[in-house]
Amino acid sequence: MALDKPYKDVPGTIIFDAEQSRKGYWLNQFCMSLMKAENRERFKANERAYLDEWSMTEEQKQAVLARDLNWCMRTGGNIYFLAKIGATDGKSFQQMAGSMTGMTEEEYRNMMVGGGRRIDGNRYIGENGDAQAHNQPQGSAGSQVHAGSKKA
Amino acid sequence: MTMAKITASVYTSHVPAIGAAMDLGKTQEDYWKPVFAGYDFSKQWMKDNQPDVIFLVYNDHATAFSSDLIPTFAIGTAAEYQPADEGWGPRPVPVVKGHPELASHIAQSVIQQDFDLTIVNKMDVDHGLTVPLSLMCGERDPVKGAWPCPVIPFAVNVVQYPVPSGQRCFNLGQAIRKAVESYDEDLNVQIWGTGGMSHQLQGARAGLINREWDNAWLDQLIENPAAAAARPHIDYVREAGSEGIELVMWLIARGAMSDIRDGKATGPVPRLRHRFYHVPASNTAVGHIILENT
């Protein structure tokens, strides 16, 4: 019998469940390694060589190199693990989260200061909120973000 | 009779950017001022109501626990815990001193009440634990300073789905209270529930905030916690964002309050000393309340 996954109909959202976690194991463990300063240095010195030390899929490596967090998440990454890449790049959680929306940093920050993204239209896939697939990209950084995403 | 007692519960978001704002001296900037103003009362309250031990419910954010090991409920029984390097370098805050005797006692009692805890004797603690301490206790020098009392870290998996249900958390809180009250030493124990409120850190829906839902949930947590505990996961995910699920941890603290018995609210609602809500701190809605047992 299939597992109950009632969260599949939430737009713009990938729930990090056991299936995603299994797919993303090595990607996420690579991220964990960046909690050590010497590993951050080695990664920054030669990203490709460092990634090749891990049993990640080629697609996961490409997603990391592109810093496309949506793509990383589809291949099993989780934001709390992926945040270690952002930290290595000197990015805040807000910059990382914003990068997944197609908005520029400023556009995303302004949305948050204005009270955040509205829930209306964003509860179920098929409504008409700004997080729905047919309303992407959301901002002027969009084309860039979505060029990367299409590779997946 | 000599016994330890839970006197109050504290609930707060644990946004990492709040810690960064404190560590970088940004608390007086226009963006951050209203966030920290919401904790002015709380810092004074902490001084006036200093506990002997804080039982601090939080979640580890892929820091101490990688994908190698994912405990649903983990209790820290160590003598001390170092602030973790989450990738930006460790926060400049004091070492967290534990309370191994009470923690071990609670572990034994709670496991005997059928909650299978993981016992942790060595781990670093991340912003989930240190940001609430900073908010409630103010800035502390990492070397010369110290937190006001020992802390028992209690980590809940809210990263990999499925996380424990709200009902399970609420029931666990009741078991923790029984455990504390069977400890033969006069200790004033506070229980803190942290994380939330509405926020989503991923995908096209990143930045979701649901002010109305958050405040209705706070009302329910205070007045009718059994109903809050009965909400399914999907309510949190859909209404409060994928990371809003952290709120189940608040139900552990609420379940440990003295008006709850056998899963029901039997006595008068605890005294609400403080309530605060603000949007945004980075990606997140900040919620904070303080409840005292009467």
- Identify the DSSP state of A17: -
Closest to B15 in 3D by CA, of A130, A107, A112, A76: A112
Q: Which two tokens stand for residue B16?
A: 């990492």
Mean pLDDT (whole number) for B143-155: 97
pLDDT in the model for residue A150: 42
Residue B268, chain A, CB below 8 Å: the answer is no
Residue spans per domain, chain A:
16-90, 101-152
Residue B279, chain A, CB below 8 Å: the answer is yes
pLDDT in the model for residue A146: 47
Closest CB from B86, B204, B208 relative to A136: B204
- Report CB contact under 8 Å: B67, A25: yes
| Whether B233 is catalytic | no
- Report CB contact under 8 Å: A10, B162: no
Residue B63, chain A, CB below 8 Å: the answer is yes
Provide, as residue numbers in chain B, all residues whose Cβ is less than 8 Å from the Cβ of A4.
none
pLDDT in the model for residue B44: 98
Closest CB from A13, A17, A97 relative to B283: A97
pLDDT in the model for residue A79: 96
- Identify the DSSP state of A117: B
Domain A16-90 CATH assignment equals 3.40.640.10? no
Q: Rounded CA gap, B120 and A111, in Å? A: 40
pLDDT in the model for residue A143: 55
CA nearest A27 in B: which residue? B67
Write out the DSSP string of chain B: ----EEEEEEEE---HHHHHHHHTT-TTSTTTHHHHHTTHHHHHHHHHT--SEEEEEE---SSS--TT---SEEEE-SSEEPBP--SS---S-PPEE--HHHHHHHHHHHHHTT--PEEESS--B-HHHHHHHHHHH----TTT---SS-EEEEEE--SSSSPPPHHHHHHHHHHHHHHHHTSSS--EEEEEEE--SS---SSTTTTB--HHHHHHHHHHHHH-HHHHHT--HHHHHHHH-TTGGGGHHHHHHHHTSTTEETTEE-SPPPEEEEEEEEEEETTEEEEEEEEE--
| Distant-in-sequence, close-in-space partners of B204: CB < 8 Å, separation ≥ 6 | A11, A12, A70, A100, A101, A102, A130, A131, A132, A133, A136, A138
Which residues of chain A have a pLDDT value below 70?
143-152
- Report CB contact under 8 Å: A117, B206: yes
Chain B window 75-134: which residues touch A at a Cβ cutoff of 8 Å?
84-89
End-to-end CA distance of chain B: 19
Q: Rounded CA gap, A38 and A48, in Å? A: 16
Closest CB from A13, A18, A80 relative to B62: A80
Mean pLDDT (whole number) for B259-268: 90
Q: Mean pLDDT in chain B?
A: 97
pLDDT in the model for residue B267: 86
- Judged by DSSP in three states, A79 sits in helix
Closest to A85 in 3D by CA, of B69, B271, B127, B62: B62
Please compute Rg for chain B using Cα positions: 17
Q: Rounded CA gap, B29 and B10, in Å? A: 26
For residue range B103-140, list pLDDT tens digits in order: 999 999 999 999 999 999 999 999 999 999 999 999 99
For residue range B201-251, list pLDDT tens digits in order: 999 999 999 999 999 999 999 999 999 999 999 999 999 999 999 999 999
Instruction: For residue A119, count CB atoms less than 10 angstroms from its CB and return exposed for 0-12, middle for 13-18, buried for 19 or more.
Output: buried
- Report CB contact under 8 Å: A88, B87: yes
| Whether B127 is catalytic | yes
Residue B282, chain A, CB below 8 Å: the answer is yes
Mean pLDDT (whole number) for B89-112: 97
Q: Rounded CA gap, B108 and B116, in Å? A: 10
Closest CB from B84, B209, B282 relative to A94: B282
Domains of chain B plus CATH, in order, are: 5-292 (3.40.830.10)
pLDDT in the model for residue A147: 43
